[in-house]
Copies of this chain bind each other. A is one copy, B any other.
C-alpha cells in the first residue's frame, strides 16, 4: 500500500474523519499540522505543493498525489484497505500461509447499501457540515465576539438548519435495527457524520435532545480501533 500523509489542522473534524477511518482500518498515517488561523494553508508553498485551494484536509498518497475533500479521502482509504485484504486473502489461500489479519470493511459490498452510505455522506456535506461545522468554527474557534456582521446574520438560520439535520439523523437512527446508518455494522456514513456530531456541543447544540444520536455516538466510541479527536 502507498505511504499516506495527512495534511491537516487538529481543530478540524473533517481532518479527524480521515484519522479515524485510518485508525479503524489499521492504516498508518503520517501527519503534517497546519494552523488555519495563522494562515498556514494559504502560504505560497502550500498552494503550490499541497493544494491550490488553500484548504485542509488533503490526503497525500505516495510522493506526488494530493486528494482534497475529507469524505473522498475516507473512501479512498477504505477501498485501499479492502483491496489489500482481498489480495492478502487470495495470496494466503494459494500459499496456505497464515490467514491475513482481520480488516474492518467500511464500505458495504451491497450496491444499494453502498449508495445509501454515500447518501448520508452527501447529506453530511450539504446539510450538516455547512451548518454545524461552520457554526462551531465561528463560535468556538474564531469566537462569537470576533464575527463580522455578515456571519452574525447567518447564525439563526444555521442553528435552525443544524437542528433540522440532527432531527433527520435522529429519525433515521431511531428506526435503525442495529443503531448504524446503513446495514448492521459501522460504515463510512457513521464515521463522516460522527466527526462533527459528537462535538456539536461546541457549536451550541445540546445533544440530550437527540437520544438516538447520543446512543449511536457511544456505539461508535466502542468500535475496535477507535481514537478520540484529540
**Residues of A bordering B, CB below 8 Å:** 52-53, 61, 65, 67-73, 75-76, 79-80, 83, 111-112, 114-116, 118-123, 125-126, 129-130, 150, 153-154, 156-157, 168, 171
- Kindly identify which residue among B112, B114, B130, B157 contacts A126, using a CB–CB cutoff of 8 Å: B130
Task: A53 to B169: give the CA distance in the assembly, Å.
Answer: 10
Task: A175 to B73: give the CA distance in the assembly, Å.
Answer: 22
- Kindly identify which residue among B69, B75, B115, B121 contacts A76, using a CB–CB cutoff of 8 Å: B115
Residues of B close to A119: CB separation below 8 A = 67-69, 72
Task: A72 to B119: give the CA distance in the assembly, Å.
Answer: 5
Additional A-B contacts beyond A69-B119, A75-B115 (5; CB < 8 A): A53-B168, A69-B118, A73-B115, A79-B115, A122-B122
Selected A-B contacts with CB under 8 Å, 15 pairs: A52-B171, A53-B168, A65-B112, A69-B118, A69-B122, A71-B122, A72-B116, A72-B122, A73-B115, A76-B112, A83-B111, A125-B126, A150-B157, A153-B153, A154-B154
Q: With A53-B168, A69-B123, A126-B126 as given contacts, are A111 and B79 in contact (CB-CB < 8 Å)? A: yes
Task: A130 to B71: give the CA distance in the assembly, Å.
Answer: 17
Taking a contact as CB atoms under 8 Å apart, the answer to whether A67 and B114 are in contact is no
Residues of B close to A153: CB separation below 8 A = 150, 153-154
Q: Of all chain B residues, which has the CB nearest A118?
A: B72
Residues of B close to A116: CB separation below 8 A = 67, 72
Residues of B close to A154: CB separation below 8 A = 150, 153-154, 157
Q: Of all chain B residues, which has the CB nearest A133?
A: B126
- Kindly identify which residue among B53, B68, B115, B157 contacts A72, using a CB–CB cutoff of 8 Å: B115
Taking a contact as CB atoms under 8 Å apart, the answer to whether A115 and B52 are in contact is no
Residues of B close to A115: CB separation below 8 A = 67, 72-73, 75-76, 79
Q: Of all chain B residues, which has the CB nearest A77?
A: B115
